Amino acid sequence: MIFVVGNSRSGTTMMGRILGKHPDIYTFGELHFFGQLCAPPFSSELRPVDAAKLTAELCCVQQEGYRTHGDSRRFLKDAEVFLKGLTPYPETPAHLFSAFLHHETTKHDKSIPCDQTPRNVFYIQDILELYPEARIINMIRDPRDVLLSQKRKWKRRFLGGSDMPVKETLRDWINYHPITISHIWRTAVNAADQFAKHERVASIYFEELLGHPETTVKRICNFANISYTNTMLQVPQVGSSVAEDQPQQLGINPHRAHSWQDGELSSSEIYLNQTITAVLMKKHNYTPASIQPNIVSLALHLLTFPIKLGGAFLCNLDRMKNIRQTLKRRLFNHAQST
């Protein structure tokens, strides 16, 4: 099993597509099993009724998409059929998740499942403990490029993501604030850094992937004990927040690096981002720009922060199975199992 993790908009989707081009790997969409569909502890006893509900939710998200899915109850019959075919019956949510991943992977004539949910960066320890054979690929990207991508994320609806519900577009707009995005980047990178020396965790810089795709992907293949194939680099150029989708264009676009320098971020946004992420920027060799913020703009960001934070919290209540635990991990870098 392979898990691609990292702060959102750090290249996790691209990495998932690259791995999905391998003849043995099936890449799922963002499933959000850990923390959203299921709260810790993931090794607790699983009742049959809860197993059916959880399976239906997984089927729904997998088939219809994380941001576009409907009511999962429509998949309860599919869930019952799936569960009846399992031997042995899953005793815990973790066992059920593994069985689901391998079942879907086999259905697509592949043998290695790959989950590319970014938020799993806050559940690395759980994954390592629950799945001893798993490999984790952690994506890291310049926090200023992440900030720009998050700022423009609500525009995905107009750049090729035409199936995006208006509710999700509004959620993306409300979620954006330079302080919030910068702080989450810091906690996500810090959460992964705790496992930097673990033999089953590899960190990949997005800029390195763009600049040296073949060398980087070969290194990933060695880490995951899979063979390298040239087809892995032939991914469609879609999903960007700063450029329109070009699905007919195959390959890795090197120009997606350093987009923040094009001027769409204000001086105050860059200043806040660099201030909040300064320690980890230095650790990961991202050079800060010398910049003086616009005082009025800076004050406005500081004043609107509580409002935007409250709005984001309300908009994302439905994405937290356990509010306290989720906030503890995402905002306060509580990376230990609960």
Structural domain that includes position 208: 2-332
Task: Answer whether residue 44 shows pLDDT above 90.
Answer: yes
| Chain centroid offset of residue 336 CA | 19
Task: Answer whether residue 22 shows pLDDT above 80.
Answer: yes
Question: How many distinct structural domains can be found in the chain?
Answer: 1
Return the CATH number at 36: 3.40.50.300
Dihedral angle of Cα 311, 313, 319, 322, to the nearest 10 degrees: -160
Per residue in 242-285, pLDDT (tens digit) is: 556 566 677 787 777 888 998 899 999 999 999 999 999 999 99
Predicted confidence at residue 315, as pLDDT, reads 73
Predicted confidence at residue 265, as pLDDT, reads 95
The model's pTM is: 0.88
Whether 237 is in a domain gets the answer yes
Predicted confidence at residue 336, as pLDDT, reads 40
User: By three-state DSSP, how is residue 1 classified?
Assistant: coil
Whether 123 is in a domain gets the answer yes
Percent of the chain with pLDDT over 90: 70
Predicted confidence at residue 335, as pLDDT, reads 40
Whether 151 is in a domain gets the answer yes
Predicted confidence at residue 244, as pLDDT, reads 61
Whether 338 is in a domain gets the answer no
Mean pLDDT of 17-27: 96
How far apart are the C-alpha atoms of 310 and 292, rounded to whole Å? 28
Predicted confidence at residue 248, as pLDDT, reads 66
Predicted confidence at residue 163, as pLDDT, reads 61
- Among 7-16, 38-47, 181-190, 241-250, name the one with the lowest average pLDDT: 241-250
* 15-39: burial string, b at 16+ Cβ within 10 Å, e else: bbbbbbbbeebbbbbbbbbbbbbbb
Predicted confidence at residue 314, as pLDDT, reads 78
